[in-house]
């Protein structure tokens, strides 16, 4: 099993979710995060004081999935989240040691 | 039309609405019984609702205007400071403030005859600016109470995010006593239009000099603004000043605050007329349009300087406009009020966005740059816009009975205004410095570094503003 | 000065401002035409703006004060409950509430003569507390409507976070009808100063007994407070009570609410004078300083008890002060108002922070501890501070024409006040218990466990307060 | 009781409060000096405080009502737009708006005689709806200024989240000039009750036709509502419209806004009476109960349609009720006001929840569905509820002196009202379309796709509403 | 060492914390997240526009622990967070390569 | 590749970012979290009800980096975030299986 972590532009969330659903991945967890990267944030000025934070609002999508789907999921996210402009984000993949469904106590891929 | 005819017509109104007097003409130094017939319930209503409006300016308006601009972790401390300052100032006001401000004493400060409001009851009256027009003394006390509440609350913006709560409360009590009450007395105390002709020297120092301050440009804004500057210099910069970003945590709250300030300020300015007549309506219109003009002109300055106007800029401009029109609100004409509003924003902008950054004082919420600078612009501008030659209201000569329009001398008035500004800057600046120094030695004004980093909400009050 | 001369002077004012009467003296039982000449537009303005201020107390002030204190997931439900209670109560008020409260009937409840406001129009008038002073009846209806709107809204704080919406709305309609209107009638109904001498028994029960309640300490606060306690006991504790932390989701909102309550309360208290005169101004000042004193004294209690004052404490104290001064606002002097304010906070604190935890009733937002307890302190305190020997206003004997000051008997007044409190506690306590019981049997008052856990915002209204 | 006796009694009041006239009876075409004795300070206070209340409706009320409904990223842009529109409109109003609206000119638009308020000073007066009752002209200017401020601000809700700031500001200036001032002139301009008998044609077009619009149903709500519809059609739908969820970011703010709108609307409606008398009190009560009824009826519709009432529904209903009662507020009786309130919500609901979704126009905040539709319901309903046979106030025939009640013809009035509605829809619809078209060609109305996605807060103003 | 990531219902947080404390695990990090899954979110209607987000507020608990405790921690969370109804959440376990206590610089299990 | 997760005190974020930038790591993702640990949270009292949450606001920094930089990054964070007082936080390091740059589809270390 894999844990896929994607940092994407907030307005792409719906597209990503649809793409994953199309693959049969229906569960995922979403976090609002801030990203630093090449993409420069807006310079904000408050009463003459400039704040150039280069901190940009992003959405983090975490999906646990079977090894079998993992690569396709990666690709699906990459395509759905892509706008071609800087700041589109990253996808990371980690090995998932175990998974448990709390309601039933099931473990492994059936738990996803 | 000259000022003179304005007041003649005003006198006509007066006579008509107080018919008991119609036969006899205005009464000099009326007896208490005669005065009782000189009260109009329309005026009483106006003073009461104006008082409520000025309280609205402090809580929640000023608290939100300030609170929205600090970081989340200090939001609650601002709300608490303003709320408690209002509460404490109200108690101080009725205990000794009213007496020290509005009874006869020296030119510098009043006496003790009305300590704890002794001698005041539901039938005693206070004079207005018209011969033979009175309002209930409690209404006057309530109205002036709201001024004593908001003025010290204005100060705290200058050293927001880094002040200990209890010493601040002590500062407020002391500052009201040795700075605010004397200045209020100097600027606003006089024996009233029916009595002044017989007691021409029974006035505060600046009133006697002829300084014009319709609603508190010197007493409130310059006074608080300079105290704030002194405070922020003596307390020092915030940890991380200039390095950490400190964006306003909620411009929404700041906008609500600014809007309610605008709404409440009609009570502040038009209420200062003490009567609901055409002059109050004029002060209302002036307050409206000067503010609008200042909001627009700040936005334009930003558009030019940064390529887009900001909400924070617009509301800061609006407040600067409100400050500037305050001393002039009953003297200007709408069109000169607009000019005053257009002028004040670029000047305050200079202080807030340029001078402050150059001189590197950490006036957190620009109390100096907006209230003191804007107040000075307004105080000096008053000398110009009050000129009847520019459509202004001039001034009334109250040493004759009934009062007549005085001969306006703009240059002379300018000098007087500058003297009043200078005296206020000096008195409040020095008084505040002494107080901050003493309190710092005794209690310490500044929280520990950890407490400041954690935020005053938790460290001073054990609470958070938000637990979403 | 004795009360007597106060009122003599007051009468002088009256005569002067109603010159048509000057020749003839006050008129007993004036005709409709005569009454029409006894209306002052200053009073009308005062009543209309006071009405607007009291509506402001409900929406948004009370809704925010309460809403800020609950968890995010229940915020919207509080806003909705208060908003809809105001709306429904307004409709009930003009339909049958005004008639049941303010027409002649039995000592316990009014009659049906003004159902659906029949007989009322733009020319009909309502009496004030002064001989020969009238206000438009619609203005009086509007003012009293706002009281009928806020009182049931106060109750919901006691069982916030765990009540079904529709049964609550039905409760409000029924509670107004069988609890609020009778008590309003008992405390406030009388035939007016120009007519009472001829119809001395045409009063509500408690009015006839001489109970003093200037602005609604019994009718509003004790009444709602005890209903809340009964409700929270009958509905039971929230899931997780005492185990889960339920910190206020936004003390910012609570502070805005408290501030606007303070501002609006001037309409509530000073507006209850029904006239814009020196007495209204006195009620205004009393409301101001008692509140300030209570905020300060709550902060001091916390400083002593926990080592630091909290914003929630300060604003709770302010509300307790407002509650306590309500019945006394037109009777106290400013200095005794301060004492009342200083006294009420420690007492309410005891209930809120100690008694409640000991007895383990889940009065979510301390409706009992603040409104009922504070209301009782105020009702009893009124007997003390009203004493002319302490600078109070005493009472007027309206059975003679024109009214004269009555002979004040503090001990007797204390007994009367206690009787009024006891009757209100009983009537409202029992009435509310019956209503809660019946509605619970028929509809169920409490949402399902899941709905409560999810939060009432989503489960009852399908919405969230925030979607950031 | 017929309307006639109402007004006779009203005249009695008038005489009594203006005793100078008692001997002579009402004066036709009074001189300036005579007028000066016809001012009541109670009225002046009422107009000033009403003006403050209407400003409160714009800032912060409308800004919050709207802002709460958009996504976080566009919150600040709404606040900024409303704040700056108010500021700019105020300047335009005193510069040329007042003259174009309220001086004699053609039936379609006023003249230039009071450009920049020339000729207005603290002693000049404005007429009311009663013979021989005047108010300070500045008070009238201030009151009407607040209407000119809020009307264009209402429009922006229709194309919220997708408009460029500077072109919008230019639109406002142009729209006020070619749409608002003419319609205000057509509906509200007349030479006043003491002068009309001699100059019966000196009125705006619709006033002359006998169209009834007590407080601005056509001038404000239909006018802004149709301009909004035209704007949202010409600017186009938001990116993601219908696909992305756009839940209101803070219903808390929306509820605060709606509550303050309700409170402020008393100034709007009852203030439009220009006098503090029984009629103002009637307008106050009508405004109160129609709003309550509409909130309840919207909640009931939702309960039926979706199984539970929502806060957004309740407050939308309240605003629809406020809109509908606006033109009728001084004409209806409380019970017919309730019926009007009950009726308007289902009709607006139909447009907002069904028609809009069917026709797929993206009126972001339902300016058309609530203000235009609600305004039409109110304008037409006015013809019904004003009928004295239904307890309404009918109308006064001002062509005779002193004014007498006119003979009410409901069918004829209905036709007149429909004509007024149609003219407003046409004038504003066409005028707005031309303006949007021209400004779009010159500057572009719509921000870039990226700017819209990022949100207008950052892209137009470089700020965020919140930085928690 | 393991990193356990549990997505649970918000009102179960206190129970989970107590269960972990009972095992001697005292440190943890909490994030507010939104979950998509079988559990359908409320349908929200705003002025006639329906939003059926099926996005449900959840709480994410992250706990780093020794291999020895990991399985018991998993079980403890599963039991404490269980309500038996849909949407109870998931537990994921990953291998933790290294851990450092910032204050002291200690590494490995002592750092937890 | 490694995924470094650091839980730090909020006011140390700027220092940590600078330290990482100095190492050439320019991308990172930030989440606001709450921490439980040794450090006791403030006791908050609301109208007499005490809440001793020991929940403390923290910031979570996630950085994906090359194996080569990982150790130095760990050290840099540890030093920058250190105040020597309790509650300074933890750093965790996980193996990163894959990384994708959404904009370009690049994978592996070049994607970081
Ligand atoms: N090394 C990294 N570790 C963790 N998150 C990263 C890293 N680099 C980038 N990110 C995240 O990805 C987002 C997009 O990265 P950025 O460099 O702006 O654009 P791009 O991926 O198109 O080159 C950043 O805002 C940040 O949240
Ligand atoms: N594949 C997944 N990857 C990441 N998080 C998931 C996944 N599946 C479910 N979740 C999280 O677990 C929560 C509960 O899942 P859900 O399917 O609703 O219920 P259950 O686990 O009871 O079947 C979701 O809201 C989501 O946060
Ligand atoms: N075992 C753990 N798993 C996950 N996060 C932890 C763990 N222990 C501590 N933390 C996080 O580190 C923060 C600091 O830990 P704490 O024990 O308070 O201080 P210190 O690390 O200085 O001993 C905690 O607030 C929590 O967010």
| Residue E43 with chain C: CB contacts under 8 Å | 462
Is 60 exceeded by the pLDDT of residue D164? yes
Tell me how crowded residue B220 is: count the other CB atoms within 10 A of its CB: 26
Ligand 1 centroid–CA E90 distance in Å is 27
pLDDT at B466: 96
Is 80 exceeded by the pLDDT of residue F109? yes
Looking at E3-112, list the stretches that DSSP marks H as alpha helix, in order from N- to C-terminal side: 13-22, 67-81
pLDDT digits (tens, 9 = 90+) for C258-269: 999 999 999 999
D215: which 2 tokens? 């407080």
Q: Which of C258, C313, C319, C253 is nearest to C287 (CA)?
A: C319
Is 80 exceeded by the pLDDT of residue A51? no
Ligand 3 site, residue E28, Cβ cutoff 6 A: yes
pLDDT at A112: 87
Q: How confident is the model at residue F51 (pLDDT cuts 50, 70, 90)?
A: confident
Q: How far is CA C302 from the centre of its chain?
A: 27
To which H or E segment does residue F45 belong? strand F43-46
Is 90 exceeded by the pLDDT of residue B191? yes
pLDDT at D13: 38
pLDDT digits (tens, 9 = 90+) for D168-188: 999 999 999 999 999 999 999
Distance (Å, whole) CA D175 – CA D156: 12
Ligand 3 centroid–CA F93 distance in Å is 15
Contact B44 C45 (CB under 8 A): no
Tell whether D4 is covered by a domain: no
How large a percentage of chain B has pLDDT more than 90?
A: 93
CB B186, CB B108: distance < 8 Å = yes
User: Can you tell me the mean pLDDT for C360-365?
Assistant: 96
Is 80 exceeded by the pLDDT of residue A94? yes
CB D134, CB D127: distance < 8 Å = yes
Tell whether B1 is covered by a domain: no
By residue count, chain C amounts to 468
> What DSSP state is assigned to residue B407?
P
Is 50 exceeded by the pLDDT of residue D11? no
Tell whether B6 is covered by a domain: no
Ligand 1 centroid–CA A12 distance in Å is 15
Distance (Å, whole) CA D113 – CA D122: 17
3-state DSSP call for residue E63? strand
Number of domains in chain C: 1
Which positions in chain E have a beta carbon within 8 angstroms of at least one beta carbon in chain A? 2, 6-8, 31-38, 55, 58, 60, 74, 77-78, 81-95
- Of the candidates F11, F42, F46, the beta carbon closest to that of B453 is on F11
pLDDT at E43: 78
Q: Which of C253, C368, C258 is nearest to C313 (CA)?
A: C258
Tell whether C194 is covered by a domain: yes
By residue count, chain E amounts to 112
Ligand 2 site, residue A63, Cβ cutoff 6 A: yes
Is 50 exceeded by the pLDDT of residue C9? no
Handedness of CA D237, D239, D243, D248 (dihedral sign): negative
Contact B247 A46 (CB under 8 A): yes
Residue F50 contacts C, CB cutoff 8 Å: no
Tell me how crowded residue B2 is: count the other CB atoms within 10 A of its CB: 12
What residues have CB less than 8 Å from B400, skipping those under 6 apart? B197
> What DSSP state is assigned to residue C156?
G
Closest-CA distance of chain C to residue D75, Å:
10
Nearest CA in chain A to E76: A102
Q: Is C129 left (phi over 0), alpha (psi -120 to 50) or beta?
A: alpha
Chains that touch D (3 or more CB pairs under 8 A): A, B, C, E
Q: How confident is the model at residue B15 (pLDDT cuts 50, 70, 90)?
A: very low
Distance (Å, whole) CA D456 – CA D76: 8
pLDDT digits (tens, 9 = 90+) for A5-36: 999 999 999 899 999 999 999 899 999 999 99
Strands A2-8 and F2-8: unpaired
Distance (Å, whole) CA C353 – CA D254: 34
User: Can you tell me the mean pLDDT for B79-87?
Assistant: 98
| Residue F30 with chain A: CB contacts under 8 Å | 33-36, 55
| Residue A59 with chain D: CB contacts under 8 Å | none
User: Can you tell me the mean pLDDT for C440-453?
Assistant: 96
pLDDT at E48: 77
Is 80 exceeded by the pLDDT of residue B293? yes
Q: How confident is the model at residue B4 (pLDDT cuts 50, 70, 90)?
A: very low
Distance (Å, whole) CA B186 – CA B181: 9
C-alpha separations of B263 from B65, B458, D264 in Å: 13, 32, 11
pLDDT at A38: 85
Distance (Å, whole) CA D273 – CA D330: 7
Residue B86 contacts C, CB cutoff 8 Å: yes
Q: How confident is the model at residue C15 (pLDDT cuts 50, 70, 90)?
A: very low
pLDDT at C157: 98
Nearest CA in chain D to C21: D16
To which H or E segment does residue E49 belong? strand E49-52
Distance (Å, whole) CA C157 – CA C78: 8
How large a percentage of chain B has pLDDT more than 70?
A: 95
**Interhelix angle for D41-56 vs D137-155, to 10°?**
20
Residue B203, φ and ψ in degrees, nearest 5: -140, 165
pTM of the model: 0.96
Q: How confident is the model at residue E51 (pLDDT cuts 50, 70, 90)?
A: confident
Contact D259 C63 (CB under 8 A): yes
Tell whether D2 is covered by a domain: no
Is 50 exceeded by the pLDDT of residue F85? yes
User: Can you tell me the mean pLDDT for D235-262?
Assistant: 95
What residues have CB less than 8 Å from B422, skipping those under 6 apart? none
CB C203, CB C108: distance < 8 Å = no
CB D267, CB D52: distance < 8 Å = yes
Residue E18 contacts C, CB cutoff 8 Å: no
Contact C51 D275 (CB under 8 A): no
Is 70 exceeded by the pLDDT of residue C8? no
Top residue of A21, A100, A109 to mutate, by most chain E CBs within 10 Å, is A100
pLDDT at B40: 98
| Residue B405 with chain D: CB contacts under 8 Å | none
pLDDT at F45: 84
pLDDT at C405: 95
Q: Is B71 left (phi over 0), alpha (psi -120 to 50) or beta?
A: beta
> What DSSP state is assigned to residue E100?
E
Tell me how crowded residue B118 is: count the other CB atoms within 10 A of its CB: 12
Looking at C176-277, list the stretches that DSSP marks H as alpha helix, in order from N- to C-terminal side: 181-188, 205-209, 223-235, 251-269
Q: How confident is the model at residue B24 (pLDDT cuts 50, 70, 90)?
A: low
Contact C366 F53 (CB under 8 A): no
Q: Which of C252, C452, C251, C232 is nearest to C359 (CA)?
A: C232
Comparing B17-31, B453-467, F75-89, F91-105, the range with the smallest average pLDDT is B17-31
User: Can you tell me the mean pLDDT for B89-116?
Assistant: 98
For C161, half-sphere exposure in the C-beta direction (CA atoms, 13 angstrom radius) is: 25
Distance (Å, whole) CA D128 – CA D107: 20
Distance (Å, whole) CA D400 – CA C229: 62
Distance (Å, whole) CA E47 – CA D35: 51
Distance (Å, whole) CA F34 – CA E17: 13
Tell me how crowded residue B323 is: count the other CB atoms within 10 A of its CB: 31
Ligand 1 site, residue F20, Cβ cutoff 6 A: no
Is 80 exceeded by the pLDDT of residue F52? no
Q: How confident is the model at residue B259 (pLDDT cuts 50, 70, 90)?
A: very high
Atom of ligand 3 nearest to the CA of E103: 22
Q: How confident is the model at residue B18 (pLDDT cuts 50, 70, 90)?
A: very low
Distance (Å, whole) CA F88 – CA F78: 9
Ligand 1 centroid–CA A36 distance in Å is 6
Distance (Å, whole) CA B206 – CA B101: 13
Dihedral (Cα; C21, C25, C29, C31), 10-degree rounding = -30
Nearest CA in chain F to E18: F36
CB B103, CB B193: distance < 8 Å = no
Tell whether D467 is covered by a domain: no
Tell whether D193 is covered by a domain: yes
Distance (Å, whole) CA D237 – CA D248: 17
CB-based contacts of C347-352 (< 8 A; 24+ apart in sequence): C347/C373, C347/C374, C347/C377, C348/C298, C348/C316, C348/C317, C348/C320, C348/C373, C348/C374, C348/C377, C349/C298, C349/C301, C349/C302, C349/C317, C349/F48, C352/C316, C352/F47, C352/F48
How large a percentage of chain C has pLDDT more than 70?
A: 95
Top residue of F36, F48, F49, F50 to mutate, by most chain C CBs within 10 Å, is F48
Tell whether B4 is covered by a domain: no
Distance (Å, whole) CA B463 – CA C309: 10
CB D267, CB D309: distance < 8 Å = no
C165: which 2 tokens? 């919406």
Distance (Å, whole) CA C201 – CA C207: 10
pLDDT at C468: 87
Distance (Å, whole) CA D346 – CA D356: 14
Atom of ligand 1 nearest to the CA of A90: 12
Question: In sequence order, what DSSP letters do the residues of C29-88 get, joined into one string?
Answer: S--HHHHHTTB-HHHHHHHHHHHHHHHHIIIIIIHHHHHTTS-HHHHHHHHHHHHHHHHH
pLDDT at F48: 76
pLDDT at D24: 67
C302: which 2 tokens? 């916390």
CB C362, CB C158: distance < 8 Å = no
Distance (Å, whole) CA B316 – CA B322: 10
Is 80 exceeded by the pLDDT of residue B312? yes
User: Can you tell me the mean pLDDT for C6-11?
Assistant: 34
CB B410, CB B165: distance < 8 Å = no
pLDDT digits (tens, 9 = 90+) for D17-55: 444 444 568 999 999 999 999 999 999 999 999 999 999
CATH of the domain at B388: 1.10.3430.10
Ligand 1 centroid–CA B245 distance in Å is 21
Q: Which of D217, D157, D183, D188 is nearest to D344 (CA)?
A: D217
Q: Which of B182, E56, C425, B308 is nearest to D451 (CA)?
A: B308
A11: which 2 tokens? 């307005």
pLDDT digits (tens, 9 = 90+) for C73-112: 999 999 999 999 999 999 999 999 999 999 999 999 999 9
Q: How confident is the model at residue D1 (pLDDT cuts 50, 70, 90)?
A: very low
List strand residue ranges (DSSP E) for B317-415, in order. 396-397, 404-405
Domain that holds residue B25: 11-461
Distance (Å, whole) CA C440 – CA C190: 37
User: Can you tell me the mean pLDDT for B322-349?
Assistant: 98
Residue B85, φ and ψ in degrees, nearest 5: -65, -45
Distance (Å, whole) CA C57 – CA C50: 11
Q: How confident is the model at residue C22 (pLDDT cuts 50, 70, 90)?
A: very low
User: Can you tell me the mean pLDDT for C396-419?
Assistant: 96
Ligand 1 site, residue F64, Cβ cutoff 6 A: yes
**Interhelix angle for C41-56 vs D251-271, to 10°?**
170
């Amino acid at each position: 099993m894999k844990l896929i972590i994607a940092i994407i532009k907030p307005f792409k969330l719906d597209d990503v979710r649809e793409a994953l659903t199309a693959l049969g991945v229906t569960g995922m967890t979403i976090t609002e995060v801030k990203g630093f990267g090449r993409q420069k944030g807006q310079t904000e000025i408050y009463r003459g004081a400039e704040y150039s934070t280069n901190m940009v609002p992003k959405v983090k999508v975490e999906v646990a999935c079977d090894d079998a789907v993992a690569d396709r999921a990666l690709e699906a996210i990459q395509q759905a989240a892509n706008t071609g402009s800087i700041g589109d984000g990253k996808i990371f993949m980690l090995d998932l040691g175990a998974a448990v469904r709390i309601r039933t106590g099931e473990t492994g891929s059936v738990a996803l | 039309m000259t000022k003179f005819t304005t007041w003649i017509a005003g006198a006509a109104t007066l006579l008509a609405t107080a018919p008991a007097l119609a036969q006899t003409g205005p009464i000099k130094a009326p007896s208490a019984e005669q005065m009782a017939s000189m009260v109009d319930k329309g005026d009483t209503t106006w003073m009461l609702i104006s008082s409520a409006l000025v309280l609205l300016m402090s809580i929640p308006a000023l608290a939100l205007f300030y609170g929205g601009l600090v970081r989340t972790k200090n939001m609650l401390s601002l709300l608490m400071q303003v709320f408690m300052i209002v509460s404490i100032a109200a108690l101080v006001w009725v205990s000794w403030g009213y007496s020290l401000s509005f009874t006869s004493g020296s030119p510098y400060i009043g006496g003790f005859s009305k300590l704890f409001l002794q001698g005041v009851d539901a039938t005693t009256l206070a004079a207005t600016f018209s011969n033979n027009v009175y309002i209930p003394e409690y209404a006057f006390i309530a109205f002036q109470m709201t001024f004593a509440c908001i003025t010290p609350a204005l100060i705290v913006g200058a050293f927001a995010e880094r002040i200990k709560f209890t010493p601040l409360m002590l500062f407020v009590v002391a500052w009201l006593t040795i700075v605010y009450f004397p200045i209020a007395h100097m600027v606003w105390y006089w024996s009233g239009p029916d009595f002044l002709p017989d007691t021409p020297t029974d006035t505060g120092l600046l009133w006697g000099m002829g300084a014009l301050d319709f609603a508190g440009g010197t007493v409130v804004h310059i006074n608080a603004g300079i105290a704030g500057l002194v405070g922020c210099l003596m307390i020092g910069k915030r940890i991380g000043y200039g390095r950490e970003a400190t964006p306003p945590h909620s411009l929404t709250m700041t906008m609500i605050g600014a809007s309610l300030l605008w709404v409440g300020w009609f009570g502040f300015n038009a209420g200062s007329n003490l009567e609901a007549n055409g002059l109050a309506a004029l002060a209302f219109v002036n307050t409206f349009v000067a503010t609008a003009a200042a909001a627009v002109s700040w936005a334009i300055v930003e558009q030019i300087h940064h390529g887009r106007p900001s909400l924070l800029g617009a509301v800061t401009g609006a407040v600067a406009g409100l400050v500037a029109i305050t001393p002039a609100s009953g003297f200007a004409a709408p069109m000169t009020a607009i000019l005053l509003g257009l002028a004040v924003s670029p000047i305050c902008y200079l202080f807030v966005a340029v001078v402050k950054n150059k001189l590197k004082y950490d006036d957190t919420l620009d109390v100096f740059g907006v209230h003191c600078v804007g107040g000075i612009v307004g105080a000096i501008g008053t000398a110009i816009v009050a000129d009847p030659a520019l459509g202004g209201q001039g001034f009334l000569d109250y040493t004759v009975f009934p009062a007549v329009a005085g001969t306006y001398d703009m240059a002379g008035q300018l000098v007087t205004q500058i003297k009043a500004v200078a005296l206020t800057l000096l008195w409040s600046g020095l008084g505040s410095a002494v107080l901050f120094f003493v309190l710092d030695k005794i209690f310490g004004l500044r929280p520990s570094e950890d407490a400041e980093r954690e935020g005053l909400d938790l460290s001073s009050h054990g609470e958070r503003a938000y637990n979403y």
